[in-house]
């Protein structure tokens, strides 16, 4: 159920449970401590809400800011980035929240919106963004596909250099480029990691390589500049195994080995926390926004608290 900010505030007032918003929030929200691994929320699961509501949710969850979707169908459409993104950045600041990461659909430097998006984002303080995905073309072959995509990535890297912004390719389970992780070494190895790297997603790496994932991680370690964190378990549907995302700690990701290896390899960079399980169960979308927010914040904070256990355990804060 979508509801705009004005309606939300009215609902709060009627309920007699008004919470300070915007300017008044500045006075009591200290903002989460930032270290070598600042945590941002991948905004996708909240994108259908008013942005003020989104800010309130993550501020209450002690998450430091957004990994904002700036892509077709995202919170910000690339065509409107010049007007829409500055407004959201300004509003986020009222909650002491950063927008220094974004998720794009960028796969080519020649796309009409690519340079515009990178220029505006960089000028507003975005330092890291996720690229779009490349596909393998079986007609030309696996190796040849990688060479073709390297040529496309070269132009993007030059724009990244121009605007002093880092673009990361996320490894993602499946048959696209990045599924095996090994292929990302070939895609990225000739580019400076300051401008082109990997957003290493341990969940997807473990889905594709239950035991061998750590080899791929070590291979591309020099290019890992951001980390995507989520958990999963295997379930069976229609007789087929399916990887299902679950709250942190309720799945199969070996976070001890992962964060131990992060520290060993001296990997640093922002973390994007992915909530890819239902924030609201069936029927809960009919609740008031106040009630929805309570549920959402509880789930976000539970994952954030779990993540902090490991960041503290391995002295990564």
pLDDT tens string 266-313? 999 999 999 999 999 999 999 999 999 999 999 999 999 999 999 999
What pLDDT, on the 0 to 100 scale, is given for residue 36?
A: 86
| CATH code of the domain in which 258 resides | 3.20.20.150
Lowest mean pLDDT among 15-29, 42-56, 107-121: 15-29
**CB burial class (10 A; 0-12, 13-18, 19+) of residue 281?**
exposed
Q: In angstroms, rounded to a whole number, what is the distance separating the alpha carbons of residues 306 and 266?
A: 22
What mean pLDDT comes out for the span 13-30? 38
What pLDDT, on the 0 to 100 scale, is given for residue 33?
A: 53
Say whether pLDDT at 14 is over 60: no
Among 210, 201, 208, smallest CA distance to 168 is for: 201
Say whether pLDDT at 85 is over 90: yes
- Tell me which residue range forms the domain holding 232: 5-25+33-313
8 A C-beta contact, residue 64 and residue 40? yes
pLDDT range class, residue 29, cuts 50, 70, 90: very low
Q: What is the CA radius of gyration of the chain?
A: 20
Q: Is the dihedral of CA 203, 204, 209, 215 positive or negative?
A: negative
Say whether pLDDT at 12 is over 50: no
The end-to-end CA distance of the chain, in Å, is 37
Q: In angstroms, rounded to a whole number, what is the distance separating the alpha carbons of residues 125 and 113?
A: 18
**Percentage above 70 pLDDT, the chain:** 89
Tokens 């131990």, residue?
Answer: 260
Q: In angstroms, rounded to a whole number, what is the distance separating the alpha carbons of residues 103 and 131?
A: 7
Query: Total domain count for the chain?
Result: 1
8 A C-beta contact, residue 94 and residue 23? yes
Strand partners, 197: 168
Lowest mean pLDDT among 12-21, 197-206, 234-243: 12-21
């Amino acid at each position: 159920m979508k509801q705009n900010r004005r309606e939300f505030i009215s609902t709060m007032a009627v309920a007699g449970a008004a919470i300070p918003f915007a300017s008044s929030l500045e006075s009591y929200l200290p903002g989460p401590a930032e270290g070598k691994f600042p945590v941002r929320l991948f905004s996708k699961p909240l994108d259908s809400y008013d942005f003020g509501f989104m800010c309130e949710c993550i501020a209450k969850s002690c998450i430091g800011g957004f990994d904002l979707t700036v892509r077709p169908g995202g919170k910000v459409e690339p065509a409107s980035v010049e007007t829409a993104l500055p407004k959201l950045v300004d509003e986020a600041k009222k909650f002491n929240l950063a927008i220094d990461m974004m998720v794009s659909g960028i796969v080519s430097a020649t796309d009409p919106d690519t340079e515009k998006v990178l220029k505006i984002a960089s000028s507003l303080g975005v330092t890291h963004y996720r690229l779009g995905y490349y596909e393998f073309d079986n007609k030309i072959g696996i190796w040849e596909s990688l060479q073709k995509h390297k040529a496309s990535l070269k132009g993007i890297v030059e724009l990244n250099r121009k605007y002093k912004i880092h673009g990361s390719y996320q490894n993602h389970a499946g048959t696209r480029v990045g599924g095996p992780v090994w292929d990302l070494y070939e895609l990225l190895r000739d580019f400076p990691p300051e401008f082109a790297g990997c957003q290493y997603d341990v969940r997807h790496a473990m889905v594709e390589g239950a035991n061998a994932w750590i080899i791929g991680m070590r291979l591309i370690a020099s290019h890992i500049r951001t980390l995507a964190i989520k958990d999963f378990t295997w379930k069976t549907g229609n007789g087929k195994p399916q990887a299902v995302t679950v709250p942190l700690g309720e799945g199969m990701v070996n976070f001890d080995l992962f964060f131990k290896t992060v520290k060993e390899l001296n990997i640093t960079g922002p973390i994007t926390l992915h909530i890819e399980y239902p924030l609201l169960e069936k029927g809960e979308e009919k609740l008031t926004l106040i009630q929805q927010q309570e549920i959402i914040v509880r789930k976000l904070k539970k994952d954030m608290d779990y993540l902090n256990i490991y960041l503290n355990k391995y002295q990564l804060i």
